[in-house]
Structure formats: C-alpha cells, structure tokens
Amino acid sequence: MVTDREYGKVAGAIRRAVSEWAQAMLGEAPDFGNDGDRAASDLETVVGMMFLSGGKALLLMVTIDRKTLTGLVRLMAGDQPERPEELADGMAEITNIIAGSVKTILAGSPWHFSIAPPLVVSGRELGLYLHHRLQRITVRAGLSGGSVTVELIAVG
Amino acid sequence: MHVLSVDDSAIVRKIIRGALEVLQFDCLEADSGEQALAILAGRDDIGLVLLDWNMPGMSGLEVLRAMRADPRWAGIPVMMVTTEGERHNIVRAIEEGANNYLVKPFVVEELLQKISDTIGLGDGEWSD
Ligand SMILES: [Mg+2]
C-alpha cells in the first residue's frame, strides 16, 4: 500500500516536475488547486502514456484536452501545431519531460524508475477503469486556462 | 558550419532549429541515432551535434560512443540535450566524451548559452 507520506512525496515530485516544465517551456506557473479525479469531459482528450520500470511497475498518464494542448504546444514550439501528428508529438514530449523530471527527483527512492518511449492515445469521452486495488497518485495542474492531469498508477 | 540536431521528438527539433537560426547556424536534423550516424557519414561540415539520450532504437549514448570511437567524428563537439537529469548519468556522458550537457526542460536562453559554450570548447575555429 502507498502510505500517506509516500503519496505526498510522489505527488510532490510530480508537482515539481510539472512546475519545472511549465515555467521553463511555457513561461507560466501552474495552479495546483484541485487534485481530484479527472473530470468527465466530452472534449477531445489526448493522453500521453509511459510504462516505467524500476522497484515498482508504473504507468504514467498525462491527460490534456485537445484545445488546451494546442495552446501548450504553441507556447513550446513558437507556432500553432497544424497537423494531428504535431499535437501527438508535443504530447509525447510533454510526457517525456515530466517523466524525466519525476525520475530525477525520485532518484534513490523506492519509486525510482527507468523511462521508455511515450505513447499517445486520443479520442472523445475516454474513460479509465482501474481495479479498486490498483494504487493511483493523481495531480491536477491548471495551465493556460485548461488543466493537465498527471496520474501515476502502480500496476505491479 | 552545420549543427546536427538529433532527437526523436519533432517539437524539440523545432525548438532547437529556432535557436540555431538565432545563432545563424545551419541546422541538420535526425530523428534517430541511426539516421544521425548516416548523416555524419555523408558530410564533413558538421561542427556540433546536439544529442538526445532516450530514443527508440539506438540511444544517444550509443551514438556518442560510436562517434568517439571513429576518428572522423571523435573531435566533433557533442552536447547532450535530454530529460536524463541524474548526476550519475551526466557524469557518465561526460566520461564517454560529451562536451556539454543540458537537461530538459530548458529555457531557450540556456540552450543558446550552452551551444555557444560548447562550440567554444572545440578547436577554436568558431570561438571568436
Ligand atoms: Mg527522446
């Protein structure tokens, strides 16, 4: 089981990773007001996923609605993403950067991991169904008028 | 002089291309380690390689080793640009022959500064 202390430490690492990315590459400080479960959304959603292997088997998921993601990719790249692949590529790199920073912050802890190539899934009304015994750490960050949800799920 | 930017992410290559334009360098791009070595093999005007670490297929560290083992490329300055920010990885890359190291996420000014620093570490041809 994830103790409260462990949860706090890992969630803190995720918040710091999101802040570092947002401040360096978007010039914006995220707002961490509300860490609840992802809100059901009928907007098209883009999810960056990465399997992480280490002391635990983890799945990292970064979820952003398409409109917010378009704005974030524009801030990072300097111009509007034109093609769906550009948006997916931006999502993949956001996932990569957040995962890499969390990895560095958690070095030396039982949650330390190696990263892998990111995968991107997109669609409308995406649902996530987890067995109730699987442990999930969720951080939501307000950015550019939308929100970025980062979930770390212990899958083994 | 050309700068070879190697990263599997198109958005990172685009950010780097923009920075190189500011510095008035010509930019070549590779989206894999294998492609980077193929480009290096075909030209002799590459004065700097910016190298991602984690890429599908050949990793940046493997590209770095291949470069340092080949007399044609052993002297070309290499800067790692990567999310691998742990101290032991930075030390490892430097030991394997990287001249500089930039951890993602970076601000563009930092990228520009480190590119200039890295070229200054070369044989002096571009450092004035
Ligand atoms: Mg990469």
Say if B92 is an interface residue toward chain A (CB within 8 Å).
Answer: no
Which CATH number is A4-155's, of 3.20.10.10, 3.40.1550.10, 2.40.50.90, 3.40.50.300?
3.40.1550.10
Report, as ranges of residue numbers, the positions in chain B whose pLDDT lies below 50.
Answer: 122-128
Is B99 buried (19+), middle (13-18) or exposed (0-12) by CB count in 10 A? buried
- Grouped pLDDT means (10 residues each) for chain A, 156 residues: 88 98 97 68 88 92 96 94 93 98 93 93 90 92 94 90
Q: Looking at domain B2-119, which CATH architecture does it have?
A: 3-Layer(aba) Sandwich (3.40)
What's the rounded Cα separation, in Å, for the pair B4 and A155? 39
Partners of B31 on chain A (C-beta within 8 Å) are: none
Partners of A115 on chain B (C-beta within 8 Å) are: 54, 83
- Count the alpha carbons within 13 Å of B24 in the hemisphere toward its beta carbon: 1
Tell whether pTM > 0.90: yes
pLDDT score recorded for residue B124: 43
pLDDT score recorded for residue B111: 96
Q: Is the dihedral of CA A150, B55, A22, A56 positive or negative?
A: positive
| Domain boundaries, given as residue ranges, for chain A | 4-155
pLDDT score recorded for residue A2: 81
- In which region does residue B43 sit, left (phi positive, over 0), alpha (psi from -120 to 50) or beta (all else)? beta
pLDDT score recorded for residue B125: 47
pLDDT score recorded for residue A56: 87
* CA A22-B13-B26 angle, 5° bins: 130
Give the Å distances, CA to CA, from A21 to A143, B42, B63, B108.
11, 36, 26, 12
How high is the ipTM of this complex? 0.90
